[in-house]
Amino acid sequence: MTKSQYFSKSIINRLKTFAIIALVCSCFLQQALAQKNEMVELKNMIPTIQYDLKYATKNNFTGKRIYPSSTNKTFLVKDAAEALQKVAAELKSMDMGIWVWDAYRPYRATVKFWKLIHDERYVANPEKGSGHNRGIAIDMSIYRLSDGKLIEMPTGFDNFSDTAHHDFMQLPENKIKNRALLKTMMERHGFRSFETEWWHYSWPNNKNYEVLNLSFEKLAKKQ
Ligand SMILES: [Zn+2]
């Protein structure tokens, strides 16, 4: 073997080793990402949770049904669902429970919203993908376990006026107190509030979670 043959063989061997290491690393990364993106059905984890999935009906701000009408499950990534479980436990000790309007939203639904509304003030631009598409955002309120009724909040769901902003203060005292209760509970367990929608909370580090386009049915089968 000539000197140059020896060197090129040694470079090829090094490249091979490097390729194997890169492959192993990417496998671990993919596995870690898959674990991060594991979606959990909320009622499975939180028996007191109430679903009122507005987008499976026409009773939402678009006036159109966005999800299949049979949709009766909703999901969040495991990290967020576990944090929500702690919120629910705290609320339960106060005779209250979590009320959900929406959580995970398949990407195709965001595209549908965009076609219908096409205004970034009200719906997410599909180019970016939303927290809901990543299974890290939830639209929610609080209800009383004793009578199943929602506690009074500043507005209903998907109200796009200033009254829905967290800093809107021209409200009766009980509505300010209830809005603050939800915010305190959610933030204590790691969620972030959204300035213009008192009902929207998200789990941080959205870049760690993939935008998904899996149907509710498919996700349900994975549980
Ligand atoms: Zn939302």
- Ligand 1 centre and the CA of 1: distance in Å? 67
- Specify which residues 98 forms β-bridges with: 142
Residue 57 is predicted with a pLDDT of 98
Residue 119 is predicted with a pLDDT of 86
Residue 200 token pair: 């929207």
- Ligand 1 centre and the CA of 99: distance in Å? 13
Give the whole-angstrom CA distance, residue 37 versus residue 192.
19
- Ligand 1 centre and the CA of 199: distance in Å? 7
- Ligand 1 centre and the CA of 115: distance in Å? 18
- Ligand 1 centre and the CA of 160: distance in Å? 12
Q: Which helix (H) or strand (E) holds 216?
A: helix 216-221
For ligand 1, an ion, list residues with CB under 5 A.
139, 200
SS3 of residue 120 by DSSP: coil
CA dihedral 103, 108, 111, 112 (to 10 degrees): -90
- Ligand 1 centre and the CA of 164: distance in Å? 12
SS3 of residue 5 by DSSP: helix
Q: Are 112 and 66 in contact (CB under 8 A)?
A: yes
Residue 32 is predicted with a pLDDT of 52
| pLDDT per position as a tens digit, 20-65 | 656 555 555 555 555 568 999 999 999 999 999 999 999 999 999 9
- Specify which residues 137 forms β-bridges with: 202
Residue 22 is predicted with a pLDDT of 60
The confidence band for 101, taking pLDDT boundaries of 50, 70 and 90, is very high
The confidence band for 121, taking pLDDT boundaries of 50, 70 and 90, is confident
Among 97, 100, 92, CA closest to 74: 100
| pLDDT per position as a tens digit, 3-21 | 666 666 776 677 676 666 5
- Ligand 1 centre and the CA of 172: distance in Å? 24
- Ligand 1 centre and the CA of 202: distance in Å? 8
- Ligand 1 centre and the CA of 179: distance in Å? 16
Give the whole-angstrom CA distance, residue 137 versus residue 191.
9
- Ligand 1 centre and the CA of 150: distance in Å? 18
- Ligand 1 centre and the CA of 32: distance in Å? 26
- Ligand 1 centre and the CA of 114: distance in Å? 14
Residue 18 token pair: 């490097």
Q: Are 66 and 102 in contact (CB under 8 A)?
A: no
Q: Are 128 and 110 in contact (CB under 8 A)?
A: no
- Ligand 1 centre and the CA of 221: distance in Å? 25
**How would you list the strands of the sheet with 96-102, edge to edge?**
50-51, 96-102, 137-144, 197-202, 192-194
